[in-house]
């Protein structure tokens, strides 16, 4: 028997071994097409070249294939005698066309066999192939396939239709040896063999109007595989039964032919036909393979089922491409699985729906089919489409999920099709994978519902189980029974179970309990992509030592909290969206733990995240915003780590810490809150560190009622209120923060509070830097306080802070203002470059200033007014634009051992009924003079050293100059001043002694007193022209000559100076001038 075989016995044996070893049962070999596993392989073999027929044939341990073949032939014959019936078209089953084709036989082998075959040199060498072919053919013919061929040939009495032959351009049959020769001769190693005789082929012919078929075996008989043929008709492994099946199927045609199986595009016009007996079959096959339009083939293939499609795909490249048509597979796939898009399974519990344009597969539908075909379907009244004995399809389909689960088996995949399944008691204790199967939104169309018990319960044993793409409903019958449902849930995951719950919609109408409950040690579900919304209770409840991972869930609009974590439960929750709940977003309490990352929590009616009663969650990279109360609420000994979250636009504080709680708040952005940033109340503690707190409507940080947090390295800025507000006995260690650009005080300390502020930078505020009032105390140490619109530090109303080592500069008002009974101990501070007094002591205040450096002020060094007191010791007061120390209006400070020097005006001036105790001070090198006393001032002086002052005033007077020349209107040299009755000057005007002598000579004048003033005559504010004005003067270059005139009553520009009234009295005018310039 002429035949061409490409494989040796050894190779066959090795393939058999390989198949067995790979876990496929021996029956898999004959049932290459019927066994799903093998079907998989063929599904996977995308190459057109396919299984070498001899190999398959020889793999068939069964010898009954001959019977099958002949039976097929017989049926073919019988049908081809007349016209093909419609039924033959509609049942195009059992098409089996294993073929060797393609570019090289080696390739054939490779693609169809296991890789071990590649290693077989018999396969690798083309020459081997050719050389061996004849002997193999002998071998084959001696074996079952050989005999099959013989039988087939002998049992094919029918001739192919005539017109078909006529249409075929190549009808000359060649012998097998021709084939071999042709192959060897370079007709390309493609000695393809088609050999199939199948009812499908017959159908083709019928459809094309050719009633023919030939039962002839042509060509490479050895490559003909009756085994595959027969197996294709049945999933049974029994060859004989297969054969019988085929025989029984009278409508099945068999058409056996083989031909050169070159790909259509490469096919030479002269193909070789290897069969000797009858060329007609060749013609038919040729027609079938090459002449039939693609559309027709496609239509025919559309009747095939998956296994047959895989088989015809092995015929030739053209069949392969057509049989792999995406639409073809899509149609079949969607009929069975309903999915709009292919679903892939990457491993246990890993399903993925992939848009077509993102699929990596050529035919995603087919790939998905391959991955999923072993599943069990739950689809009431659709059983018939899952079982088809003709095509060998035998997919399990049952009516209920419970039935599917009870089928047992290892790790079953259960497709739960569209529909509502009510009242199934689902307690899952194995590794079943249950996945919804429906068109459209899958989960919405597959509904599991319960009204009494929990809808789905995972218990011990469910280690790798999966539940995905279904809706779980729990709708207790509230009217009928009063059964408590607080222990019933949509989904319950119990001890020692770790299912994956994926893309489920979860709805509970129970007014108690939760929609999802995970409880008990070892409960570690992976819940992802689920929608737990619109429930009448808590969305997700994790408790009693449970863990688990919860990712990408949508949890919203629930009546109670979105999530509860309690009693040492420690879940990991990532990227969940928790919003619009009617309670808190996430509630951890009673020692609940948890790691919460990148969750978006917003628009919940109460706090976004609540921590209570020993709970200790870690919350990182979450966004907590638009809460209808606060952002994060930690209370009743709550703890927790809140790191790198964004907390904003909440109606209350971004973070509330209260009642002995002690969380860590680090590196968060806390901004644009409708109230404050971080509130620590009620003996709260906490570490508030490295946060960026800004744009809040109230204080950035508020510390109240005996709270004692650590606040470090934060930036607190651009608040619409103050920066840090400490009150009601608040405490706290506030270190190295940058507090700036706030609308009110940078730091407010009041009502018995005693915080410690160290090394902060407090600057650029629109009011005060640090504000102590109403018994605000505490320590202010080593801070930089600068560039405020008001004073750097204000102390008033009983406040008594310790202020040490600070640098206070650049204020648009004073450096330090102590007033209204303020106290305070200021030591070792540097106070400089403030627009007004370095230190102001006013209105019954009594601070202590020791060893401060007060210099380079744009006004006086220390100004004491309105009954101000104070003890000033060992301060260095120098280089200030006005008096080093100005004491006025009933004040009475004590100055000891200060050094007051290098001032641009007087050293110490005392005026307006003030007095002072001056002991052991050194006053030197001041421009206007050392100690300047107005009329009637008699300070207590002891041991002072007043020396080397420049006495510029006295010199100007003795030089006959107008004092305006040395002072202009920006300073107030103390000297005698007069009024001129002749010029009718008012009390608001003062005239220097030299102007009286010169400009007002002969006028009626009056001496008023010795005090601080500038000369109005020289300033040109009188009617007469000052005659000293044009004279050259000395020492004017250091004065503020270029400053514009300012009327004194417009100078009341700062709120700090509330007590100062403008007086029409000239003596007070001097006061006003120095205060407000
Ligand atoms: Zn003058
Ligand atoms: Zn006059
Ligand atoms: Zn004058």
Ligand 2 mean position, distance from CA 580 (Å): 82
Ligand 1 mean position, distance from CA 998 (Å): 9
Contact by Cβ (8 Å): 456, 448: yes
Give the model's pLDDT for residue 221: 32
Ligand 2 mean position, distance from CA 371 (Å): 114
Ligand closest in space to the Cα of 979: 2
Ligand 1 mean position, distance from CA 1020 (Å): 9
Ligand 2 mean position, distance from CA 1066 (Å): 17
- Please name the residue that has the structure tokens 């950035």: 700
Ligand 1 mean position, distance from CA 976 (Å): 11
Q: Which two tokens stand for residue 855?
A: 């210099």
Contact by Cβ (8 Å): 884, 906: yes
Ligand 3 mean position, distance from CA 811 (Å): 36
Residues 860-890 have pLDDT tens digits of 999 999 999 999 999 999 999 999 999 999 9
Ligand 3 mean position, distance from CA 976 (Å): 14
The C-alpha atoms of residue 795 and residue 793 are separated, in whole angstroms, by 7
Ligand 1 mean position, distance from CA 1015 (Å): 5
Ligand 3 mean position, distance from CA 1029 (Å): 7
Ligand 3 mean position, distance from CA 985 (Å): 13
Ligand 3 mean position, distance from CA 966 (Å): 13
Ligand 1 mean position, distance from CA 1036 (Å): 14
Ligand 3 mean position, distance from CA 969 (Å): 14
Ligand 1 mean position, distance from CA 465 (Å): 102
Ligand closest in space to the Cα of 991: 1
Residues of the chain with pLDDT under 70: 1-281, 478-485, 1030-1077
The C-alpha atoms of residue 617 and residue 596 are separated, in whole angstroms, by 7
Give the model's pLDDT for residue 40: 38
Ligand 2 mean position, distance from CA 1022 (Å): 9
Give the model's pLDDT for residue 697: 94
CB atoms within 10 A of CB 696: 29
Ligand 2 mean position, distance from CA 1014 (Å): 16
Ligand 2 mean position, distance from CA 932 (Å): 27
Ligand 1 mean position, distance from CA 837 (Å): 27
Ligand 2 mean position, distance from CA 976 (Å): 16
DSSP one-letter code for 290:
I
Ligand 2 mean position, distance from CA 964 (Å): 16
Residue 381: half-sphere exposure toward Cβ, Cα within 13 Å: 2
Beta bridge partners of 945: 922
Give the model's pLDDT for residue 484: 67
Q: Is the pTM value of this prediction over 0.75?
A: no
Q: Which two tokens stand for residue 315?
A: 């015929």
Ligand 2 mean position, distance from CA 954 (Å): 22
The C-alpha atoms of residue 763 and residue 718 are separated, in whole angstroms, by 11
Ligand 1 mean position, distance from CA 1017 (Å): 5
Ligand 2 mean position, distance from CA 978 (Å): 10
Ligand closest in space to the Cα of 956: 1
Ligand 2 mean position, distance from CA 995 (Å): 9
Ligand 2 mean position, distance from CA 1015 (Å): 13
Q: Which two tokens stand for residue 359?
A: 């699929």
Burial 921-941 (b: 16+ CB within 10 A, else e): bbbbbbbbbbbbbbeebebeb
Ligand closest in space to the Cα of 983: 2
- Please name the residue that has the structure tokens 């620590």: 680
Give the model's pLDDT for residue 739: 96
Specify the length of the chain in residues.
1077
Give the model's pLDDT for residue 43: 42
Beta bridge partners of 436: 416
Ligand 3 mean position, distance from CA 1013 (Å): 14
Ligand 3 mean position, distance from CA 1015 (Å): 8
Angle between helices 364-372 and 36-44 (to 10 degrees): 160
Ligand 2 mean position, distance from CA 888 (Å): 30
Ligand 1 mean position, distance from CA 964 (Å): 6
Ligand 3 mean position, distance from CA 1027 (Å): 5
Ligand 3 mean position, distance from CA 988 (Å): 16
Which residues 6+ apart lie within 8 Å of 323 measured at CB?
301, 304, 309, 310, 312, 313
Ligand 3 mean position, distance from CA 1014 (Å): 11
Ligand 2 mean position, distance from CA 108 (Å): 128
**DSSP letter for each residue of 502-547:** ES-EEEE--SSSEEEEEESTT---EEES-EEES-SSEEEEEETT--
Ligand 3 mean position, distance from CA 547 (Å): 92
Ligand 1 mean position, distance from CA 999 (Å): 8
Ligand 2 mean position, distance from CA 974 (Å): 21
Contact by Cβ (8 Å): 526, 498: yes
Ligand 3 mean position, distance from CA 885 (Å): 29
Q: Which two tokens stand for residue 327?
A: 């639409």
Ligand 2 mean position, distance from CA 982 (Å): 5
The C-alpha atoms of residue 446 and residue 437 are separated, in whole angstroms, by 7
Helix, strand, coil share of the chain (percent; to 5): 25, 25, 50
Q: Which two tokens stand for residue 375?
A: 């599943």
Residues 686-699 have pLDDT tens digits of 999 999 999 999 99
Alpha carbon separation from 1059 to 415, 794, 819, 867, 890 (Å, rounded): 85, 15, 10, 11, 13
Ligand 2 mean position, distance from CA 963 (Å): 16
Phi, psi of 466 (to 5 degrees): -140, 140
Ligand 2 mean position, distance from CA 983 (Å): 4
DSSP one-letter code for 221:
G
Ligand 3 mean position, distance from CA 999 (Å): 5
Contact by Cβ (8 Å): 418, 453: no
Ligand 1 mean position, distance from CA 1060 (Å): 27
Contact by Cβ (8 Å): 156, 214: yes
Ligand 2 mean position, distance from CA 1040 (Å): 26
Ligand 2 mean position, distance from CA 1062 (Å): 25
Alpha carbon separation from 1006 to 409, 963, 977, 997, 1025 (Å, rounded): 121, 18, 9, 12, 19
Ligand 1 mean position, distance from CA 1063 (Å): 22
Give the model's pLDDT for residue 281: 64
Ligand 1 mean position, distance from CA 994 (Å): 6
3-state secondary structure of 21: helix
Alpha carbon separation from 622 to 531, 552, 645, 930, 1023 (Å, rounded): 19, 13, 5, 65, 74
Q: Longest C-alpha distance within the chain, in Å?
A: 160
Burial 47-73 (b: 16+ CB within 10 A, else e): bbbbbbbbbbbbbbebbbbbbbbbbbb
Which residues 6+ apart lie within 8 Å of 867 measured at CB?
842, 843, 844, 889, 890, 891, 892
In which element (H, E) is residue 1075 found? helix 1066-1076
The C-alpha atoms of residue 152 and residue 222 are separated, in whole angstroms, by 11
Ligand 2 mean position, distance from CA 1021 (Å): 12
Contact by Cβ (8 Å): 728, 752: yes
Ligand 1 mean position, distance from CA 1051 (Å): 23
Ligand 2 mean position, distance from CA 1003 (Å): 5
CB atoms within 10 A of CB 162: 12
Q: Which two tokens stand for residue 369?
A: 């089919």
Ligand 1 mean position, distance from CA 1057 (Å): 30
Ligand 1 mean position, distance from CA 1037 (Å): 18
Burial 1030-1064 (b: 16+ CB within 10 A, else e): eeebeeeeebbeeeeeeebeebeebebbeebebbe
The C-alpha atoms of residue 812 and residue 258 are separated, in whole angstroms, by 103
- Please name the residue that has the structure tokens 């199927």: 249
Ligand 1 mean position, distance from CA 995 (Å): 4
Contact by Cβ (8 Å): 811, 834: yes
Ligand closest in space to the Cα of 1014: 1
């Amino acid at each position: 028997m002429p035949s061409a075989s490409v494989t040796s016995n050894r190779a066959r044996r090795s393939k058999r071994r390989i198949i067995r070893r790979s876990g496929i049962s021996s029956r898999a070999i004959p049932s290459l097409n019927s066994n799903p596993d093998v079907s998989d392989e063929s599904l996977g073999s995308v190459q057109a070249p396919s299984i070498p027929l001899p190999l398959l044939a020889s793999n068939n341990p069964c010898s009954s294939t001959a019977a099958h073949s002949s039976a097929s032939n017989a049926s073919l014959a019988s049908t081809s005698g007349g016209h093909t019936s419609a039924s033959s078209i509609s049942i195009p089953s059992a098409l089996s066309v294993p073929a060797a084709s393609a570019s090289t036989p080696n390739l054939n082998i490779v693609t169809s066999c296991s890789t071990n075959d590649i290693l077989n040199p018999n396969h690798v060498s083309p020459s081997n192939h050719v050389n061996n072919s004849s002997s193999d053919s002998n071998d084959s013919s001696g074996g079952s396939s050989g005999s099959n061929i013989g039988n087939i040939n002998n049992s094919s009495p029918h001739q192919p239709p005539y017109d078909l032959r006529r249409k075929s351009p190549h009808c000359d049959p060649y012998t097998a040896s021709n084939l071999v020769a042709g192959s060897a001769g370079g007709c390309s190693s493609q000695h393809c063999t088609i050999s199939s005789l199948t009812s499908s082929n017959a159908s083709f012919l019928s459809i094309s109007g050719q009633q023919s078929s030939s039962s002839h075996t042509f060509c490479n008989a050895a490559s003909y595989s009756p085994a595959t043929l027969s197996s294709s008709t049945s999933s049974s492994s029994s060859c004989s039964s297969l054969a019988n099946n085929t025989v029984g199927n009278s409508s099945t045609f068999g058409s056996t032919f083989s031909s050169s199986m070159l790909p259509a595009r490469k096919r030479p016009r002269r193909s070789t036909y290897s069969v000797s007996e009858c060329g007609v079959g060749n013609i038919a096959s040729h027609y079938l393979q090459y002449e039939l339009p693609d559309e027709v083939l496609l239509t025919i293939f559309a009747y095939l089922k998956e296994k047959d499609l895989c088989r015809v795909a092995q015929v030739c490249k053209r069949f392969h491409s057509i049989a792999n048509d995406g639409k073809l597979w899509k149609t079949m796939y969607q009929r069975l699985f309903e999915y709009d898009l292919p679903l892939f399974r990457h491993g246990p519990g890993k399903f993925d729906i992939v848009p077509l344009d993102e699929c990596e597969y050529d035919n995603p539908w087919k790939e998905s089919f391959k991955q999923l075909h072993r599943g069990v379907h739950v689809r009431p009244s659709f059983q018939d489409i899952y079982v088809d004995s003709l095509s060998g399809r035998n997919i399990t389909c049952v009516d209920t999920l419970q039935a599917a689960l009870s089928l047992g088996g290892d790790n079953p995949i259960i497709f739960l099709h569209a529909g509502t399944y009510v009242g199934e008691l689902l307690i899952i204790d194995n590794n079943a994978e249950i996945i919804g199967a429906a068109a459209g939104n899958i989960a919405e169309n597959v509904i599991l519902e319960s009204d009494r018990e929990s809808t789905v319960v995972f218990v011990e044993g469910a280690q790798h189980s999966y539940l995905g793409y279904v809706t779980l409903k729990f709708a207790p019958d509230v009217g009928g029974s009063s059964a408590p449902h607080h222990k019933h849930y949509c989904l319950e995951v119990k001890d020692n179970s770790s299912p994956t719950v994926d893309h489920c919609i979860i709805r509970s109408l129970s007014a108690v309990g939760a929609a999802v409950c995970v409880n008990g040690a070892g409960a570690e579900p992976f819940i992802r992509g689920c929608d737990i919304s619109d429930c009448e209770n808590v969305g997700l409840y994790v408790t009693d030592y449970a863990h688990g991972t919860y990712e990408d869930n949508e949890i919203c609009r629930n009546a109670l909290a979105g999530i509860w974590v309690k009693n040492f439960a420690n879940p990991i929750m990532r990227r969940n969206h928790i919003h619009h709940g009617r309670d808190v977003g996430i509630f951890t309490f009673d020692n609940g733990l948890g790691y919460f990352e990148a969750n978006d929590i917003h628009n919940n009616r109460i706090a976004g995240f609540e921590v209570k009663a020993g709970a200790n969650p870690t919350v990182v990279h979450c966004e907590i915003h638009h809460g209808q109360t606060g952002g994060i609420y930690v209370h009743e000994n709550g703890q927790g780590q809140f790191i790198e979250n964004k907390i904003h636009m909440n109606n209350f504080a971004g973070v509330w810490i209260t009642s002995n709680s002690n969380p860590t708040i680090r590196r968060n952005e806390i901004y644009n809150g409708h109230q404050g940033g971080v509130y620590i109340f009620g003996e709260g503690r906490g570490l508030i560190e490295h946060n960026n707190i800004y744009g809040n409507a109230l204080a950035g940080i508020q510390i109240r009622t005996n709270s004692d947090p650590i606040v470090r390295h934060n930036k607190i800025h651009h608040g619409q209120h103050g920066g840090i507000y400490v009150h009601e006995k608040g405490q706290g260690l506030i270190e190295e923060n940058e507090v700036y650009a706030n609308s009110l005080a940078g730091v407010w300390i009041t009502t018995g509070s005693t915080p410690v502020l160290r090394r902060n930078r407090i600057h650029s505020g629109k009011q005060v830097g640090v504000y102590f009032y109403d018994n605000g105390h505490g320590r202010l140490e080593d801070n930089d306080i600068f560039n405020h619109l008001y004073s750097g530090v204000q102390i008033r109303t009983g406040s008594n802070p310790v202020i040490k080592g600070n640098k206070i500069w650049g204020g648009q008002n004073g450096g330090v203002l102590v007033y209204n009974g303020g106290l305070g101990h200021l030591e070792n501070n540097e106070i400089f470059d403030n627009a007004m007094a370095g230190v102001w002591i006013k209105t019954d205040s009594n601070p202590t200033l020791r060893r401060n450096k007060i210099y380079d002020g744009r006004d006086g060094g220390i100004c004491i007014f309105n009954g101000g007191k104070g003890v000033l010791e060992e301060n260095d007061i120098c280089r200030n634009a006005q008096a080093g120390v100005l004491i006025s209006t009933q004040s009475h400070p004590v100055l000891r051992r200060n050094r007051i020097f290098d001032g641009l005006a007087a050293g110490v001036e005392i005026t307006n009924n003030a007095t002072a105790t001056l002991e052991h001070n050194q006053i030197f090198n001041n421009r206007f003079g050392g100690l300047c006393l107005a009329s009637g001032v008699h300070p207590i002086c002891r041991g002072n050293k007043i020396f080397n002052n420049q006495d510029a005033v006295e010199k100007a007077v003795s030089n006959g100059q107008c004092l305006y020349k040395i002072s202009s209107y920006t300073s107030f040299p103390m000297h005698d001043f007069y009024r001129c009755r002749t010029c009718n000057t008012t009390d608001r005007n003062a005239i220097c002694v030299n102007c009286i002598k010169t400009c007002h000579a002969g006028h009626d004048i009056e001496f008023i007193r010795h005090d601080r003033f500038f000369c109005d005559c020289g300033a040109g504010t009188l009617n007469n022209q000052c005659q000293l004005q044009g004279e050259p003067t000395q020492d004017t270059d250091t004065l503020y000559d270029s400053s514009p005139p300012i009327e004194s009553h417009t100078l009341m520009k700062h709120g700090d100076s509330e007590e100062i009234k403008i007086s029409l009295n000239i003596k007070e005018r001097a006061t006003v001038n120095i205060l407000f310039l």
